[in-house]
Amino acid sequence: MNRAKLIERIREVNSYLCVGLDTDIEKIPAHLKEEEDPVFAFNKAIIDATLPYCVSYKVNTAFYEAQGLKGWASLEKTVNYIPSSHFKIADAKRGDIGNTSTQYAIAFLRNMPFDSITVAPYMGEDSVKPFLQFNDKWAIVLGLTSNPGALDFELKSIEGDEPKRLYEEVIRKVSTWGTTENLMFVVGATRSDEFLHLRKIAPDHFFLVPGVGAQGGSLEEISRKAMTKDVGILVNVSRDIIYASTGIDFAQQAGEKAKGYALEMANYLV
């Protein structure tokens, strides 16, 4: 999916919601565990219920890889079930030397119908560029994350002509490797105090923003500080939507949660 189509879709739906399919087999409703593929059964129901209210789905591959071959089968069925109208993110956080990254890129961006993949940039340019070689596909590079460990490296000050933090240098540098048509950045919702500054560094790139809902990020604050004339943000919500209920009504409750986020987002769209 190219940038123009993504923006068009956001405007059509009046939502920039991304639903995170971080599907933990231990947390899905008990009655689904009798299904041949419980994870896919859960995901299918969640997708059916939330499809009208979101523009994107983020599949966290760790939850599928942990289940071995069965998990990979669930992942492939899930991404194939999501319609092409919705932006599909492989949350795989890959990033390795160039020839290895090339194989990761082929796996997720050619052999599976993902539109994008999350990428860790700390091995440098040759670990990121292979993900930027596919038409209408995106690398979503870790910029400033919301986890406590961000203090270990990302928020550390580094030496140079002027004071700056490591994450700032990462975003500035990575921005030169791609364009606003194939490169996004992950910025955690709990770092909302940094969004105005971030927009000076990357004024036009899309941000994928996890951390709203269960992690406590403010949708209103993010929207006010990070939104651009082209919207420029995808806000991911995972647990607060997909685990809204553990009963028979789990899909209905997920749909209601997604609808609530979408209605709030419609108020912030410019």
What is 80-145 written as a DSSP string? HHS-TTSEEEEEEEE--SHHHHHHHHIIIIISS--SEEEE--TT-HHHHGGGG-STT-EEEEEEE-
pTM for the whole structure = 0.96
**Rounded Cα distance, 80 and 231, in Å:** 27
**What confidence tens digit (pLDDT) does each residue in 74-119 have?**
999 999 999 999 999 999 999 999 899 999 999 999 999 999 999 9
**Rounded Cα distance, 197 and 202, in Å:** 9
Catalytic residue positions?
Answer: 93
Digit-by-digit pLDDT tens for the chain (270 residues) are 999 999 999 999 999 999 999 999 999 999 999 999 999 999 999 999 999 999 999 999 999 999 999 999 999 999 999 999 999 999 999 999 989 999 999 999 999 999 999 999 999 999 999 999 999 999 999 999 988 888 898 888 887 777 789 999 999 999 999 999 999 999 998 888 889 999 999 999 999 999 887 667 789 999 999 999 999 999 999 999 999 999 999 999 999 999 999 999 999 997
**What confidence tens digit (pLDDT) does each residue in 113-147 have?**
999 999 999 999 999 999 999 999 999 999 999 88
Classify burial at 270, counting beta carbons within 10 Å of its beta carbon; exposed 0-12, middle 13-18, buried 19 or more: exposed
* Residue ranges of domains in the chain, CATH in brackets: 3-268 (3.20.20.70)
| Of 24, 100, 32, nearest in space to 66 by CA | 24
Residues in the chain: 270
Handedness of CA 239, 245, 250, 251 (dihedral sign): negative
